[in-house]
A and B are shown apart, each in its own frame.
Chain A
Amino acid sequence: MKISRRLFLGGTAAALTAPWVNRSFAADDITIASIYDLSGGLEIYGQPFDACLDLAVSELNEAGGLLGRQIKVQKYDPQSNIQLYTQFATEAATSLQAATVFGGITSASREAIRPILGRYQTLYFYSPLYEGGVCDRNTFLTGSTPSQTIGQLMPFAVKNFGKKVYVLAADYNYGQISAKWVRDFTAQAGGEVIAAEFFPLDVTDFSAAIQKIQREKPDVIYTLLVGGNHMSFFRQWAAAGMAGQIPIVSTSFGGGNEHIVLTPAESDGVMAAFGYFQEIKSPANEAFVKRYHQKFGDKAPYVTEHASATYNAVHHWANGVRKANSLDRMAVIEAIESGSTVDGPGGSSTIDPKTHHCATDVHIGRVKDHSFEILESFANQPPADTAAVCDLVANPNDNQQYVIQ
């Protein structure tokens, strides 16, 4: 058969439009995308995110979906590799035309994909706790920020243990910025940070730090350590006979399952502040944990704050879609800004329209025998750190991450 130019052009046009036509006809399902590290070094963080996203979506689907349509999740696994984050975010926004993207674990990965999703006008939800300050109308952040957790934990620590604080932190933007917040909130609580040490993520030898701490004799140790290698600090601290000698408080301990991996002798007594603990005793949480274990079995990963905030994020998006009665990005953003509250497992989570962060309940827990005992709870803490610098109602075009000086 001879292929004429006309036939060729016509065929090509048909072939090119076919997927598009296909998609719009078969578009009963709403497609959303998730980008969480399900393998590689951050796997231990990523698995609970993924499980709670699945749980929230399946609950929405069982209740009839959104706008009468079922929700389908396209999952991307960036394998703890930032380059794959940018590639997958582009794919989700362009070829997949996802209604919204849930993704990013580290702050580095968030800053890699946030501009891409902004450029392609794809709504973005970031759910881990982080160092605060992101001000972007296209992005909603459902995790806790320093003023919510450190802002409660520091007065608690100074009141109960003393004024001299020694900080041990991971050496990247999360640890550096959070350490500045610790300094700030310690001063506000009437205490003083006497030393801050930073450790790259591959450090496993903390013996020098342990001796320095003993020389400085702080009243409290504040850890912002991250990842598997840094767990060595708690092992070596216990091996040096120091466990229980100086109280340790943290806003990262537990987020990477530290309290499960370490033995009770190494981890008992460490206190942490988060927007969520799996052990919270409330009817809502007990029902949530039961549903979670029914779906994923008894060996399912511990539900971290990151994971429960992911569950909340999906429901905030669903609130927006229902209220807007549309999937249109701007309509959904405006609907969420006009007020969205999710009665999540850790208490209510309310969107703050000025910052796109959440007012959330905060709890202080103490490790005992691989689980947390809740010591104190603080209802409805506002994201005051970001609110001090960011106002998206007044400046809807603001788009940056403010950093504490």
Chain B
Amino acid sequence: MDYLLVVLLQIAGAVGNLALVSVGLAVIFGMMRVINLAHGEFIMLGGFAAIFSVQAGINIWLAMLVIAPLSVAVLGVLVERLVMRRLYGRMVDTMLASWGLSLLLIGLATTFFGNRVVGVAAPVGSFRIGEYSLGAYDFVLAGIALVVFAAGYAILRFTRVGLVARATMQNREMASSLGIEPSRVYAVTFAIGSALSGLAGGLLAPISGVLPTMGVAYVAKAFITVITGGASVITGTALSSTLLGSINTVSTFITTPVLGDVALLLAATIFLRLLPTGITGRIFKGAP
């Protein structure tokens, strides 16, 4: 009985984890149709930003929740200005450019930070359920993911800024003729997406440690989650994270971590065969 509860809690943790890792990519891809293959490296740099701040004596929560997203947002602004701005509407070119950027960032991080894992201890302790002891940090992550998604939904659905963003996403020309400057919307969107990737990196640092090549493992999972989610940035990513996270965790518990990943990929393949436009291409259509 306790074990069942433990498995359920682990599922919640895994879903939160997957949602956090994917949301930055979802914002950039969903709003701008730009596939940011450097997403994993944005996560990695967020992790390094958090860890170096902690090593410099800054409070760990401040480092993870403020410094990591801010520093990656600054990088995002630069990347948008220098690279992405020139490539809007050319999806394959944005992929190539961001892939190159990804290799460059891995190389730079390896050169300057060294090819070794750095880490910090998790800032919260553990709790017990019956005979089982669990890390509380996973649930802090799930809680933060919940807050991020709720805030994202509220902003897109109920505020003027959200309306402008959705309008630009749906019909760029029309939005432009109504006095909205799409290039500004894009710049802000890219910065926010980058900030969310940085936030994910900062929050993951105590769990997985940070390594220059860590992004590779995340970008594939995030990408699959976003594609499975479909057109709606927030709703789609939340639904697909829940679905794929649960499948992954349950199959990992029953079998091995390898088969857990296999199950996740298999589920994503089947879903895309049945719902080629993603979950929100069929249900919850039009939700933000």
- Smallest CB–CB gap between A394 and chain B, Å? 41
Q: For chain A residues 187-202, which have a beta carbon within 8 Å of chain B?
A: 197-200, 202
By a CB distance below 8 angstroms, the chain A residues around B207 are 204-205, 232, 235-236, 239
Closest to B249 in A: A208
By a CB distance below 8 angstroms, the chain B residues around A203 are 257
Q: Decide yes or no whether B252 CB sits under 8 A from chain A.
A: yes
Question: Which of B6, B119, B120, B213: most chain A CB closer than 10 A?
Answer: B119
Q: For chain B residues 189-210, which have a beta carbon within 8 Å of chain A?
A: 206-209
Contact A44 B217 (CB under 8 A): no
Closest to B7 in A: A211
Of the stretches B58-66, B96-104, B125-133, B165-173, the one at the interface is B125-133
Measured as residues with beta carbon below 8 angstroms from the partner, the interface class of chain B is 35 or more
Given contacts A171-B258, A229-B211, contact A239 B137 (CB under 8 A): yes
In Å, the complex CA distance between A193 and B13 comes to 30
Contact B10 A207 (CB under 8 A): yes
By a CB distance below 8 angstroms, the chain A residues around B41 are none
Contact A41 B213 (CB under 8 A): yes
- Smallest CB–CB gap between B245 and chain A, Å? 11
Q: Which of A41, A204, A208, A262 contacts B260 (CB 8 A)?
A: A208
Q: Which of B116, B121, B125, B260 contacts A228 (CB 8 A)?
A: B116
Contact B125 A241 (CB under 8 A): yes
Q: Which of A205, A235, A241 contacts B257 (CB 8 A)?
A: A205
Given contacts A207-B13, A211-B6, A232-B208, contact A238 B121 (CB under 8 A): yes
Q: Decide yes or no whether A87 CB sits under 8 A from chain B.
A: no
Q: Which of B17, B131, B134, B214 contacts A240 (CB 8 A)?
A: B134
Q: Decide yes or no whether B3 CB sits under 8 A from chain A.
A: yes
Closest to B10 in A: A207
Q: Decide yes or no whether A261 CB sits under 8 A from chain B.
A: yes
Q: Decide yes or no whether A214 CB sits under 8 A from chain B.
A: yes
Contact B257 A39 (CB under 8 A): no
In Å, the complex CA distance between A205 and B252 comes to 10
Closest to A204 in B: B208
Contact A265 B256 (CB under 8 A): no
Contact B122 A239 (CB under 8 A): yes
Number of residue pairs across A and B with beta carbons under 8 Å? 116
Q: Which of A44, A215, A235, A240 contacts B115 (CB 8 A)?
A: A44
Q: For chain A residues 300-337, which have a beta carbon within 8 Å of chain B?
A: none
Q: Mark interface residues in B113-151 (1 if CB within 8 Å of A CB, else 0).
A: 001111111100111100111111110000000000000
Q: Which of A211, A232, A262, A265 contacts B132 (CB 8 A)?
A: A211
Given contacts A41-B213, A208-B252, A215-B3, contact A263 B121 (CB under 8 A): yes
Contact B253 A212 (CB under 8 A): yes
By a CB distance below 8 angstroms, the chain B residues around A263 are 119-121
Closest to A243 in B: B126
Given contacts A211-B132, A214-B133, A241-B126, contact A266 B121 (CB under 8 A): yes
Closest to B111 in A: A39
- Smallest CB–CB gap between B144 and chain A, Å? 16
Given contacts A43-B115, A212-B253, contact A205 B133 (CB under 8 A): no
By a CB distance below 8 angstroms, the chain A residues around B213 are 41
In Å, the complex CA distance between A366 and B118 comes to 22
In Å, the complex CA distance between A208 and B134 comes to 11
- Smallest CB–CB gap between A271 and chain B, Å? 21
Q: Decide yes or no whether A242 CB sits under 8 A from chain B.
A: yes
- Smallest CB–CB gap between A19 and chain B, Å? 35
23 contacts between A and B (CB under 8 A): A40-B115, A43-B115, A200-B257, A202-B217, A204-B207, A204-B209, A204-B217, A207-B138, A208-B249, A208-B260, A209-B257, A214-B132, A228-B209, A235-B119, A235-B121, A235-B208, A239-B122, A239-B135, A241-B125, A241-B127, A242-B133, A261-B116, A263-B120
- A contact set with B: CB distance below 8 Å: 39-41, 43-44, 171, 197-200, 202-205, 207-209, 211-212, 214-215, 228-229, 231-232, 235-236, 238-242, 245, 257, 261-263, 265-266
Given contacts A207-B10, A229-B117, could you give 5 more A-B pairs where the C-beta distance is less than 8 Å?
A: A41-B115, A204-B208, A208-B257, A215-B3, A261-B117
